[in-house]
Amino acid sequence: MDATQITLHPDYTIAPVDPRIFGGFLEHLGRAVYQGVYQPDSIHADEDGFRTDVLNALRTMHMTAMRYPGGNFASGYHWQDGIGLRASRPTLHELAWQSIEPNQFGTDEYLKLARQMDWTPMLTVNLGTGTPEEARNWLEYCNSPIGTKYANLRAANGSSDPYGVKLWCLGNEMDGPWQLGHVPADQYAIRAQQAAKLMKDTDPTIELVASGSCTLTLPTYMEWDRTVLEYIGDLADYVSLHRYVGNPNGDTVDYLAVTNSIDQQIEEMDAACRYVQARRRSKQRHYLCFDEWNVWYRATSPAHTDGRGQFAPHLLEEEYNLEDALVVAGFLNSFIRHADVVKIANLAQIVNVIAPIHTRGDELLLHTIYYPFVLYANRRDGMALRPAVKGPGYMSRSYGYVNTLDVSAILGDGVLHVFLINRSQTDAAPVKIDLAGRSLKNLESAEIVTGPNAQACNTFERPGHICSQPFTSVRISEGQALAQLPPLSVTALTFGLG
C-alpha cells in the first residue's frame, strides 16, 4: 500500500477536547444495573452491593459524564420510587423493556457510585409520563440546600450536602414513536421549555440537554430539532443526538467507512443549531450532546428487547468483534475532529447491555470495544488538531469515499497524541506523521488493537484474544514519525515534542 502522509500544524486547531466526550450510560435495562454494577449477592460485592470487578474494569476506562437512569426507561420512571428505605420501595412493571423493576438502586445509590467512580453525574428527567414539576422536584432533591421539602427528604435519606448535579437531559428520544409519552415536536417543545424554566429557576447553574433527533431515519429528522430549539431557545445548552451502527450485510469494507456518516450527522445537527441561532439572533449557540452511541445491530429482535416480565433479563447483550472495535474508535475520531461542537458523548452502555463489559455469574469479560476506548480516554487532554491526510482510500458502497486511514490528533502539554485506524483487511499501511514547525522528539507510548480478522472476538472461553498491545513499529527520523500499521488496527501514539 502507498504511504499516507499526515500533516498537522499546532496552529490549525479545532478546539480543546471536552473530557465529557468520554462519557458512559447506565440504564435500568436488562442486566446493566442489576447483575452489572449492582449485585449484593456477588462474591465481588462491596458493602454497598456494587460489583468491584465491574467497577475496576470501568475505572480503567476513565469515563466522565455518566448518563442515568435511561434511555427509554427514563420516560416511565418516577424518581421517588427509587429513594428511601429499600424495603418500602415499590416493585413495578417497567414498560419500556417489559421488565420487573424492584427499585433497589435509585438516585442515592447512583450518585454514591458516581462519586466513588469520579463520574460527572448526568440525569435524564421523565418528560414522557412525568411532569415538568416532577423534574424540578428531582432537581431540588439533588441540588438544593436543606430547608425545603425535597432537599430535606434527601437529608433524611442520608445526604445532607447537596449532590450538585450539573447536567440534566430533558427527556429521552422524544421524537421516537416507541417512546413512552411520545408527542409531536411542538408539544415536546412546550413540555421541555416548561421543565427547563422550572429547573433553571430552581438552580441556574445547571446545564440542560434538549432531546434531539435520535435517528436519521425518522421523517422528522432535523425538523424536530429546528422546532424544539426555536421554542426552547436559550433555556437549553445542548441538543442530543444518538447513533447505533452495524454490519448486518457482512460487508466489512462498507461498515468501516461509516465514520463518514457519523461526521455528516454531527455536521447536520450543528447546521440546525446554527440555523436556529441565526433565526433567533441569539448569542447562545446550542452545542451537541451525543448521549448515546455504539455498535448495536445483532441483539435487536424481540427476544433481545422484550423482558417478558422478568427481573434482570438478558437484553441487548451484544457481543463485539474486531471490526466493531475499529468502528468504536471511528466514533471517537469523529468526536475529536468535531471538538468545537461535540461537548458531551456517552458510550451506550457500560455493562452487559450493548457494553464493553460483560458479566456471567461472578465472571467478567472485556469485549473488543473496551480496548480502543481505553487507548483514547488515557490520551484525551489537549487541543484537537485538524489533520491533513494524503494517501490511499476507497469508494464505499454506502458512505462515499474514505481514506484507508481514519485519523484524529490532540496536541497536549508537550505531547502529541495521534489516533490511526487502518481500514484495510489485508495490507499494512505505511504512514508518515509531521507536526509542522515542531519536531517529534521521542515516542512516549504506543498501543495497538488488532487481530487476525474482522470477526475475531473475545469470549469467556478465550478472553483477551483481542486486546491492546504495546506497539513498537515506529521510527522517528528528523522530527517526523514513520510507522507501519497492521491491517485492521487502531493505534494510539503519543510523542514527546522538541
Size of the site for ligand AHR (CB under 6 A): 10
Which of residues 321 and 349 has its CB atom nearest to ligand AHR in the complex? 349
Residue 56 region, left (φ>0) first, then alpha (ψ -120 to 50), else beta? alpha
The DSSP secondary-structure symbol of 156 reads H
Single out the residue of 141, 34, 26 nearest to residue 79, CA to CA: 141
Which of residues 110 and 163 has its CB atom nearest to ligand AHR in the complex? 110
HEC string for 219-262: CCCCHHHHHHHHHHHHHCCEEEEEEEECCCCCCHHHHCCCHHHH
Question: Min. distance of Cβ 327 from ligand AHR in angstroms?
Answer: 16
Which residues, numbered 43-82, are part of the site for ligand AHR (CB under 6 A)?
Answer: 70-72
Question: Min. distance of Cβ 357 from ligand AHR in angstroms?
Answer: 15
Cell, residue 408? 484524529
Q: Are 320 and 295 spatial neighbours (Cβ–Cβ below 8 Å)?
A: yes
Member of 18, 94, 173, 318 binding ligand AHR (CB under 6 A): 173
C-beta neighbour count of 302 within 10 angstroms: 8
Which of residues 304 and 417 has its CB atom nearest to ligand AHR in the complex? 304
Of the ranges 84-92, 258-266, 347-355, 359-367, which one interacts with ligand AHR (CB under 6 A)?
347-355
Question: Min. distance of Cβ 123 from ligand AHR in angstroms?
Answer: 14
Q: How far is 165 from 207, CA to CA, in rounded Å?
A: 9
Question: Min. distance of Cβ 72 from ligand AHR in angstroms?
Answer: 4
Question: Min. distance of Cβ 74 from ligand AHR in angstroms?
Answer: 8
Q: How far is 489 from 323, CA to CA, in rounded Å?
A: 9
Which of residues 25 and 141 has its CB atom nearest to ligand AHR in the complex? 25
Which of residues 305 and 422 has its CB atom nearest to ligand AHR in the complex? 305
Instruction: Give CA separation, 8 vs 219, 434, 489, in Å.
Output: 39, 6, 21
Strands 167-170 and 120-124: parallel
Q: Of the residues 292, 318, 323, 447, which is catalytic?
A: 292
Member of 42, 172, 193, 450 binding ligand AHR (CB under 6 A): 172
CA torsion sign, 458 to 463 to 465 to 467? positive
Residue nearest to ligand AHR (CB): 71
Which of residues 292 and 406 has its CB atom nearest to ligand AHR in the complex? 292
Question: Min. distance of Cβ 292 from ligand AHR in angstroms?
Answer: 5
Which residues, numbered 264-303, are part of the site for ligand AHR (CB under 6 A)?
Answer: 292
Q: Are 172 and 213 spatial neighbours (Cβ–Cβ below 8 Å)?
A: no
Which of residues 174 and 257 has its CB atom nearest to ligand AHR in the complex? 174
Is-catalytic flag, 444?
A: no
Is-catalytic flag, 173?
A: yes
Single out the residue of 348, 309, 304 nearest to residue 95, CA to CA: 309
Q: How far from each other are the two terminal CA atoms of the chain, in whole angstroms?
A: 30
Q: What's the CA dihedral at 345, 350, 356, 358 to 10 degrees?
A: -170
The DSSP secondary-structure symbol of 146 reads B
Q: Of the residues 173, 318, 323, 447, which is catalytic?
A: 173
Q: How far is 294 from 365, CA to CA, in rounded Å?
A: 18
Question: Min. distance of Cβ 124 from ligand AHR in angstroms?
Answer: 9
Member of 348, 350, 355, 366 binding ligand AHR (CB under 6 A): 348
Member of 194, 349, 368, 403 binding ligand AHR (CB under 6 A): 349
The pattern of x and - marking residues 8 through 37 that bind ligand AHR according to CB under 6 A reads -------------------x----------
Residues whose CB is less than 8 angstroms from the CB of residue 96 and which lie 6 or more positions away in sequence, other chains included = 29, 70, 71, 72, 73, 75, 76, 180
Using only the alpha carbons of the chain, give its radius of gyration.
22
Which of residues 96 and 488 has its CB atom nearest to ligand AHR in the complex? 96
305 binds ligand AHR (CB under 6 A): no
The catalytic residues are: 173, 292
Interaction site with ligand AHR (CB under 6 A)? 27, 70-72, 172-173, 292, 348-349, 354
